[in-house]
Amino acid sequence: MRKAVRDTVLQDLGESVGGRISTSESVLLQHGSDMSYHTPALPDAVVFPQTTEEVAEVVRLCREHKLPMIPFGTGSSLEGHLMAHRGGISIDLSEMNRILEINVDDLDATVEAGVTRIQLNDSLNPKGLFFPVDPGADASLGGMAATRASGTTTVRYGSMRNNVLSLKVVLPDGRVIRTSSRARKSSAGYDLTALYLGSEGTLGIITELTLRIYGTPEAISSAVCAFPTMQAAVGCVIQTIQMGIPVARMELLDTVQIDAVNRFTGSDYEKSPTLFLEFHGSEAGVVEQAEAVSAIAEEAGGGDFRWATTAEDRAQLWKARHESYFAALALRPGAKGFITDICVPISRLAECIEETQEDLSSTNLLAPILSHAGDGNFHLSILIDPSDASELEEARSVNDRLVKRALAMGGTCTGEHGVGLGKMKYLEEEHGAAALDVMRSIKKAIDPDDLMNPGKILPGPAISQ
Amino acid sequence: MRKAVRDTVLQDLGESVGGRISTSESVLLQHGSDMSYHTPALPDAVVFPQTTEEVAEVVRLCREHKLPMIPFGTGSSLEGHLMAHRGGISIDLSEMNRILEINVDDLDATVEAGVTRIQLNDSLNPKGLFFPVDPGADASLGGMAATRASGTTTVRYGSMRNNVLSLKVVLPDGRVIRTSSRARKSSAGYDLTALYLGSEGTLGIITELTLRIYGTPEAISSAVCAFPTMQAAVGCVIQTIQMGIPVARMELLDTVQIDAVNRFTGSDYEKSPTLFLEFHGSEAGVVEQAEAVSAIAEEAGGGDFRWATTAEDRAQLWKARHESYFAALALRPGAKGFITDICVPISRLAECIEETQEDLSSTNLLAPILSHAGDGNFHLSILIDPSDASELEEARSVNDRLVKRALAMGGTCTGEHGVGLGKMKYLEEEHGAAALDVMRSIKKAIDPDDLMNPGKILPGPAISQ
C-alpha cells in the first residue's frame, strides 16, 4: 500500500473505533506473536473496538481496502493463529469484556468475546454458578470458541462444542448474525454455531457468546494417585469411564512432568505416572465416586489416594497441575516450550504415550507429557533452546512423528489447540482431499476475498472436480 | 424427461445397485410420504443400495442426469423431508443395516446409516452397553443424524449433536468423505460432522456413523408425579436442573395427554400435569437423586411419587409414555396427527405451554401436549380430520402462532423434528436474512446443482450483498 493511502485507511480505521488504534512497534509485536514457537509476523495496525458495531465497521473498511483481518483475544494461542504473515489489521477484542446477561433459571450467560474464563467465573461463583471449560490459560471466551477449546473438565462437562449455545458473529461482508437462539437444542437449519466453533477467525469475527453455565456442585474432592506404568494409569481411566463414573477431572502426568512439578512447587509426589482426579456431586455421591475409582486404581496397581478435601488443599493440588508448563520450563532455564497436542481413541492412549516417550529417548530433547486422559488427549512440551536451530528442527521432527502416530491410531492432529499454522500440513492426511475441499468451498463461499485470518487452517488452493 | 431417456437412466441406476430398484406405485407412495400432514409427492424411482460405493454410483448417475436425490431411512419423519416434489430418486438406506464395529474400551460404535436405534440397542444391551438418543420412533440412525434428532434422554445424555463422533458422507459429486476421526474431540478444522448433523440430506448422503455409546447404569428407577399446575411441574424441572441432579428423563404430559394415556392403556394416573421421571446411576446414587427430586416436587406442590422399580414396571411406565401419540390419536378415532415441535429457554416453558393451551381452547381442536421438559422442548399433536380442509387450516394457524410465540420467547421453530417443508417459512424470522444467506451460500458451495433433497430447509433464493 502506498504510504498516503495507508495513512488514510489507518485514519478511517482509527475513527471507526473512537481513536483506539495503535501502530507502535511493541503493540504490533505483542499482537503478531503468541505463546508458541512460531515466528512472529506483525500486523500493520491493531484496533481496539468496544462494540459489535465498531467491529462491523472495521470489517467493512478492511474489506473495502482488501486488508487481512485477524481477531485477537488474549494471545494465549499455541499454533501461530495470530501471525499476520500477510499483514493487515489485528482486531483486539479485549475491550469487549462485558458480561451482558446471566440467566439463573436457564443456566446460560451471554458475554462479549473479550471476557476471559476467569473473569466470567469471578462473576458466576458468588451466585453459586460456574463455567466449566478450562484450557489452562486464562483465555478469552471468544478465542476459546474460535479454537473449539476444551481442557481439564471436558471429560465431564464437554468442550466449547458442548457449552456454546449461540454466537454473535460479524461476517466478512460486515453483516452481523446470531447463529442460534437461547434454546437448549434446535434442529432449525445448518448448525452455524458449530461451524464457527473452531473456525479460528477464518469465517468471521465472534463478538458475543451465549454459554451454558452450571450450578456449583454441593461437594468437590480431589486426589492424586501414582501408578507403576503408563498402561496401568490409562487402564484405570478406561475402566472409570466404562463404569460411567462421572469424574470431573482426570489428568495424567508422566514421570518427567511430575518430577518437574516436584522441583517447581516443592511437592513430593512419587516419581511415576500420576493421575490428578476431581469429583463433583453431592456429599455422598462424591464419596461413592472416589471409593469406586480408588478400587479401580488399586486393581490397576495404583498406590493410595492422596486426598485434598479442603478448598485450600484442592487449590494447591490444581495449582501444581496448572503450573505444569512453568514447572516444565524451569527444568531447563532459558528454554522455550514447543507445545503440541494430539488426541487418540482412549484404547490407544497408553501405547501412543509410550511410543512417544521411546521416540523422545532417542533424541536429546526433554519433553514432559500432560494428558487430559479421559478424552485421550495429551500435550507434549518440548523444551528447546530458541537460539539453537537444530533443536527446533529436532522438535519439529518429533512433532511430525507424533502427529503421524496419532493419525495412524485413528486420532486427530489436534485435540484442542487448533490448526493455526502449525497443524495445517496434517489436515489432508487426517481428513482426506475431498473433505478438505468441502472446507475450502465453505471458506470460499463465506469469505470470497480471503481476508479473514488468511492462510490459516486450510493449506493450498485445490477445489477439484 | 423423455421416456426413452428415462428408461435408460433407470436401467443404469438399477444396474448400479444390483437391480434393487422399484417404480411400483405402492413403493413410490411409501417413499414419497411420511408420518406428517404433508401431502405426499412421489419420486420417479426408489433404489436400495447396500454399500457406500453403490450410493456413490447412484449419486454420480443422478448428477449426470440432473435428477434430484432424497435419502430415505424409515419414513418416520414429521415435516415433509421425504416429499419428492421435484421428482427424482429416493435412496432407501434400509439395506445398509450392518453394525460394523463396537469398541468397548473406547465406548463407540460404527454403524451403517440404515441401522435403527432399537436394532443398535439390541446389539449393545447384552454387552452391558446402550445408545441413549431416543426420539420415540424406531428411526434409522442416519435419519436421526440428518435431522439432529434428540428425545427423552437428551436432558442427561445430549442429542445426536453430542453423540455422533464422525460420519461417512457421499458428497453431491459422488466423492466420499469421513467428517472426523474416532477421537473424542478435535480442533482440526471446520466441524463437518456438525454441519451434516441437521442437514436433512441437502448437502450429501450419510452412509455410516460412529456413535458414542454408554455403559448400562448399575441402577435405574422411574417414577410418575402429578402437579396441580403446569407452572408447578415446570418449576420442579427447573429446580432439579439447577441443582445439577443428573435426571435421565424428565417428560411432561399435560392433562389432555395424561387423560389420553389413561383411556388408551387403562392406567389411572391423576388427571393433571404430570412428570415421568427416570434416574440412572449407582444403587445409592439413584436413591439419592430420587429423594432430592421428590423433595423438590413436594415443595413445588406435586403429589407423591408413584414408583416403578422393577424392569417390568418401568417398561410399562415408559410404554405409556411412548404410546402417547397413539393414545392421542385414539381420543378421536379416524383422526390424523398434525404434529409440531418447538423449544424455548426453560424459564419460558410453562408460559409457552399455558398460552398455547389457551390458544387451543379458543379453537375446536383437541391437541395433547408432550414435553421433553428438561430441554424446554414440547410437541403438540393436533388431532384433525384429514378430509376436513378447514381443520387443517385451523391447525396450520395454531402452529403458526405457536412458532411465533416460541420465537418471541427466544426459542426455536423446531427442537428436534427438523425443518423439512413444514418449518421452512420460519427460518428467516428465527435466524435473520444474513444467517440464512450464510446457509444458502454453504448449500450452493457444496451442492451447486441443487440436487440433494432440493427445496428443503432453505426458503427462496436470496444471497444478497
Q: Same structural domain for residues B347 and B297?
A: no
Interface test with A, best of B100, B162, B176, B185 (most A CBs within 10 A): B185
CA-to-CA distance for B49 and A6, rounded, in angstroms? Answer: 60
Instruction: Please determine, for residue B121, whether its predicted confidence score (pLDDT) is greater than 50.
Output: yes
Is residue A445 included in any domain, yes or no?
Answer: no
Of the residues B280, B296, B325, the one at which a domain ends = B325
Q: Same structural domain for residues B116 and B197?
A: yes
Confidence band for B386, pLDDT divided at 50, 70 and 90: confident
Instruction: Please determine, for residue A2, whether its predicted confidence score (pLDDT) is greater than 80.
Output: no
Q: Same structural domain for residues B308 and B400?
A: no
How many angstroms away from the CA of B293 is the closest CA of chain A?
13
Q: What is the pLDDT of residue B174?
A: 98
* Mean pLDDT of the residues in chain A: 95
Instruction: Please determine, for residue A462, whether its predicted confidence score (pLDDT) is greater than 60.
Output: no
Q: What is the pLDDT of residue A465?
A: 40
Interface test with B, best of A100, A190, A447 (most B CBs within 10 A): A190
pLDDT in tens, A273-319: 999 999 999 999 999 999 999 999 999 999 999 988 788 889 889 98
Is residue A392 included in any domain, yes or no?
Answer: yes
Confidence band for B464, pLDDT divided at 50, 70 and 90: very low
Confidence band for B35, pLDDT divided at 50, 70 and 90: confident
Q: Same structural domain for residues A350 and A412?
A: yes
* CATH classification at residue A273: 3.30.70.2190
Q: What is the pLDDT of residue A34?
A: 87
Q: How many CB contacts within 8 angstroms connect chain A with chain B? A: 288
Instruction: Please determine, for residue B462, whether its predicted confidence score (pLDDT) is greater than 70.
Output: no
Instruction: Please determine, for residue B463, whether its predicted confidence score (pLDDT) is greater than 70.
Output: no
Q: Same structural domain for residues B104 and B210?
A: yes
Q: What is the pLDDT of residue A464?
A: 45
CB within 8 Å: B186 and A343: yes
CA-to-CA distance for B138 and A396, rounded, in angstroms? Answer: 50
CA-to-CA distance for B254 and B366, rounded, in angstroms? Answer: 12
CA-to-CA distance for A252 and A226, rounded, in angstroms? Answer: 10
Averaged pLDDT for residues A355-381: 97
Averaged pLDDT for residues A418-433: 97
Averaged pLDDT for residues A379-404: 96
Of the residues B215, B243, B265, the one at which a domain ends = B215
* CATH classification at residue A389: 3.30.70.2740
CA-to-CA distance for B354 and B339, rounded, in angstroms? Answer: 18
Instruction: Please determine, for residue B209, whether its predicted confidence score (pLDDT) is greater than 80.
Output: yes
Q: In the structure grid, which three cell numbers stand for residue B99, read together? A: 453394525
Task: Determine what percent of chain B is predicted with pLDDT higher than 70.
Answer: 99
Averaged pLDDT for residues A161-176: 98
pLDDT in tens, A37-54: 889 999 999 999 999 999
Residues of A in contact with B180 (CB under 8 A): 412
Task: Determine what percent of chain A is predicted with pLDDT higher than 70.
Answer: 99
Averaged pLDDT for residues A124-128: 97
Residue A290 CA neighbour count, 13 Å, CB half: 25
Residues of B in contact with A185 (CB under 8 A): 148, 150, 154, 159, 161, 343, 375, 377, 412, 415-416
Which residue in B39, B43, B37 sits closest to B67, CA to CA? Answer: B43
Residues of B in contact with A108 (CB under 8 A): 345
Q: Same structural domain for residues A188 and A240?
A: no
Residues of A in contact with B102 (CB under 8 A): none
Confidence band for A463, pLDDT divided at 50, 70 and 90: low
How many angstroms away from the CA of A247 is the closest CA of chain B?
13
Averaged pLDDT for residues B377-390: 94
Confidence band for A59, pLDDT divided at 50, 70 and 90: very high
Q: Tally Cβ neighbours within 10 Å of residue B243.
A: 16
Q: What is the pLDDT of residue B309?
A: 78
Is residue B136 included in any domain, yes or no?
Answer: yes
Is residue A294 included in any domain, yes or no?
Answer: yes
CA-to-CA distance for B421 and B68, rounded, in angstroms? Answer: 16
3-state secondary structure of A409: coil
Q: Same structural domain for residues B363 and B389?
A: yes
Q: Which of A312-321, A456-465, B287-296 has the highest mean pLDDT?
A: B287-296
CA-to-CA distance for A463 and A433, rounded, in angstroms? Answer: 9
Is residue B309 included in any domain, yes or no?
Answer: yes
CB within 8 Å: A346 and B184: yes
Residues of A in contact with B288 (CB under 8 A): 282, 284-285
Instruction: Please determine, for residue B303, whether its predicted confidence score (pLDDT) is greater than 80.
Output: yes
Q: Same structural domain for residues A235 and A319?
A: yes
3-state secondary structure of A369: strand
* Mean pLDDT of the residues in chain B: 95
* E strand spans, A216-265: 219-226, 249-253
3-state DSSP of chain B: CCHHHHHHHHHHHHHHCCCCEECCHHHHHHHCCCCCCCCCCCCCEEECCCCHHHHHHHHHHHHHCCCCEEEECCCCCCCCCCCCCCCCEEEECCCCCCEEEEECCCCEEEEECCCEHHHHHHHHHHHCEECCCCCCCCCEHHHHHHCCCCCCCHHHHCCHHHHEEEEEEECCCCCEEECCCCCCCCCCCCCHHHHHCCCCCCCCEEEEEEEECEECCCEEEEEEEECCCHHHHHHHHHHHHHCCCCCCEEEEECHHHHHHHHHHHCCCCCCCCEEEEEEEECHHHHHHHHHHHHHHHHHCCCCCCEEECCHHHHHHHHHHHHCHHHHHHHCCCCCEEEEEEEECCHHHHHHHHHHHHHHHHCCCCECCEEEEHHHCEEEEEEEECCCCHHHHHHHHHHHHHHHHHHHHCCCECCCCCCCCCCCHHHHHHHHCHHHHHHHHHHHHHHCCCCCECCCCCCCCCCCCC
Nearest to A343 among B178, B184, B437 (CB): B184
ipTM score above 0.95:
yes
Nearest to B198 among A103, A191, A285 (CB): A191
Instruction: Please determine, for residue A123, whether its predicted confidence score (pLDDT) is greater than 70.
Output: yes
Q: Same structural domain for residues A179 and A287?
A: no
Residues of B in contact with A243 (CB under 8 A): 215
Averaged pLDDT for residues B111-138: 97
How many angstroms away from the CA of A273 is the closest CA of chain B?
20
CA-to-CA distance for A140 and A118, rounded, in angstroms? Answer: 9
Overall domain count for chain A: 4
Residues of A in contact with B281 (CB under 8 A): 244
* CATH classification at residue B103: 3.30.465.10
Interface test with A, best of B100, B184, B348 (most A CBs within 10 A): B184
3-state secondary structure of A296: helix
How many angstroms away from the CA of A12 is the closest CA of chain B?
22
CB within 8 Å: B434 and A458: no
Q: Same structural domain for residues A26 and A45?
A: yes
Lowest mean pLDDT across A2-6, B131-135, B212-216, B268-272: A2-6
Is residue A465 included in any domain, yes or no?
Answer: no
Which carries the bigger pLDDT value, residue B48 or residue A463?
B48
* CATH classification at residue B48: 3.30.43.10
Is residue B311 included in any domain, yes or no?
Answer: yes
pLDDT in tens, A217-233: 999 999 999 999 999 99
Is residue B453 included in any domain, yes or no?
Answer: no
pLDDT in tens, B257-271: 999 999 999 999 999
Q: Same structural domain for residues A80 and A133?
A: no
Task: Determine what percent of chain A is predicted with pLDDT higher than 90.
Answer: 91
Of the residues A154, A185, A215, the one at which a domain ends = A215
3-state secondary structure of A280: strand
Instruction: Please determine, for residue A460, whether its predicted confidence score (pLDDT) is greater than 90.
Output: no
Taking CA atoms, B165 is separated from A36, A307, B213, in Å, by 29, 35, 10
Instruction: Please determine, for residue A405, whether its predicted confidence score (pLDDT) is greater than 70.
Output: yes
pLDDT in tens, B58-95: 999 999 999 999 999 999 999 999 999 999 999 999 99
Taking CA atoms, B199 is separated from B47, B331, B381, B418, in Å, by 21, 35, 25, 9
CB within 8 Å: B412 and A177: no
Q: Same structural domain for residues B232 and B265?
A: yes
Q: Which domain holds residue B74?
A: 3-92
Q: In the structure grid, which three cell numbers stand for residue A154, read together? A: 471436558
Q: Tally Cβ neighbours within 10 Å of residue B169.
A: 30
Q: Do B360 and B246 form a contact (C-beta atoms < 8 A)?
A: no
